[in-house]
Amino acid sequence: MTSTHQRAEAAIEADPTVPAIHITRDFAATAAHLVRAHTDPELFVRWIGPNGYETTIDHWDARTGGSYRYEQAGQGFHGCFHHVCDDRLVQTFTWEGMPEGVSLDTMTFEDLGGGRTRMHATSLVGSFEARDGMLSSGMEVGVNDGYAKLDALLADGLVA
Amino acid sequence: MTSTHQRAEAAIEADPTVPAIHITRDFAATAAHLVRAHTDPELFVRWIGPNGYETTIDHWDARTGGSYRYEQAGQGFHGCFHHVCDDRLVQTFTWEGMPEGVSLDTMTFEDLGGGRTRMHATSLVGSFEARDGMLSSGMEVGVNDGYAKLDALLADGLVA
């Protein structure tokens, strides 16, 4: 596989200098499609997280200054939307199993041409220990399963 | 001045390992007073920032999942409240003069006994360059002026 091929797996990388995780993933979609997939709750529940779990929305207001909460596999997740616009999402995230833990998540979208977009997602947390705990938690399964489900929704034209 | 004296100036310190600023400040107040001073908009505008500026609230909903925006000296500031409770505040912050910049701010409150409380505030940002820019911006004037105004409100019994 060379660098000219489609990137099917997400690149999940520890930042070398700050306690952040960077995820990079290419999609056959526009930035607008990807923003919609992250902000429309009916779409979001169809792809987020590992295969085989049902996601239910508790509340969802994906506007700058809004907030969200959802449940998946008996676990709760919540945060607030700091900034929502056409090319950038900034939001907070807490898994309620570790309520002291908060990440600041930023997503930006790079137009690759030909209807393809590279998503750059960064999760910033308060310590390297917390960051390394996230990386060793098996998060890549949920990330890659989720984005594969999103690929399928995009291919089926369901993120119009 | 020995360590047994009241700490009148805030300690403003760069974290040695992550791009965060830690502010520590003692108050003649309970944690409940300090939470109220940070969440009640009518109190907040009376102390936040440097002396001599008027602060006006655009919107303010200081609950978990709420958000805020205020203006001071012709500048706008906004964010969302990730978590609001009796002993911990977690919120985002952007100065609209640098809209790409977002900090994740956490405040906790340590009971010192005798009606005194030590506030621990941490602002986490995405890079050391951004953090060092904040530190070199003269932020200590606003921090120390603001907390002196808050001391006065507390002494006057206005944060009841």
Q: What is the pLDDT of residue B7?
A: 52
Angstrom distance (rounded) from CA A40 to CA A47: 11
pLDDT tens-digit series, residues B66-95: 999 999 999 999 999 999 999 999 999 999
Name the residue facing B18 among A19, A67, A68 (closest C-beta): A19
Name the residue facing B80 among A65, A106, A124 (closest C-beta): A65
Q: Which residue has the tokens 């965060």?
A: B20
Q: Which residue has the tokens 């340590």?
A: B110
Angstrom distance (rounded) from CA A19 to CA B126: 9
Q: What is the pLDDT of residue A73?
A: 93
Q: What is the pLDDT of residue A2?
A: 38
B11-155 architecture in CATH?
2-Layer Sandwich (3.30)
Angstrom distance (rounded) from CA B23 to CA B143: 9
Q: Which residue has the tokens 């003069």?
A: B97
Q: Does the beta carbon of A123 lie under 8 angstroms from any beta carbon of chain B?
A: no
Angstrom distance (rounded) from CA B14 to CA B132: 8
CA of A72, closest CA in chain B: separation in Å?
19
Mean pLDDT over all residues of chain B? Answer: 94
Residues in CB range of A40: below 8 A, 6 or more apart: A62
Say what the ipTM of the complex is: 0.92
As a whole number of angstroms, the longest Cα–Cα distance in chain B is 43
Whether A94 sits inside 8 A of B106 (CB atoms) is no
Q: How far apart are the first and last CA of chain B?
A: 30
What pTM does this model have?
A: 0.93
CA of A117, closest CA in chain B: separation in Å?
21
Whether B124 sits inside 8 A of A126 (CB atoms) is yes
Percent of chain B surpassing pLDDT 90 = 92
CA of B82, closest CA in chain A: separation in Å?
6
Amino acid at B81: F
Q: What is the pLDDT of residue B25?
A: 97
Q: What is the pLDDT of residue A6?
A: 52
Low-confidence ranges of chain A (pLDDT < 50): 1-5
> In Å, what is the CA distance from A2 to each residue of A5, A6, A11, A24, A145?
6, 9, 15, 16, 22
Q: Does the beta carbon of A20 lie under 8 angstroms from any beta carbon of chain B?
A: yes
Locate B139 and state its tokens.
Answer: 């932020």
Locate B152 and state its tokens.
Answer: 């006065």
By C-alpha distance, the chain A residue nearest B101 is: A90
Q: What is the pLDDT of residue A19?
A: 98
Q: What is the pLDDT of residue A7?
A: 52
> In Å, what is the CA distance from B115 to each residue of A70, A116, B32, B107?
39, 60, 11, 18
Q: Which residue has the tokens 């308060």?
A: A126
Please state the rounded mean pLDDT for residues B37-56: 97
Which chain A residues contact residue B78 at CB under 8 A? 64-65
CA of B125, closest CA in chain A: separation in Å?
8
Please write down the HEC assignment for all residues of A17-81. CCCEEEEEEEECCCHHHHHHHHHCHHHHHHHCCCCCCCEEEEEECCCCCCEEEEEECCEEEEEEE
Q: What is the pLDDT of residue B76?
A: 98
By C-alpha distance, the chain A residue nearest B128 is: A18
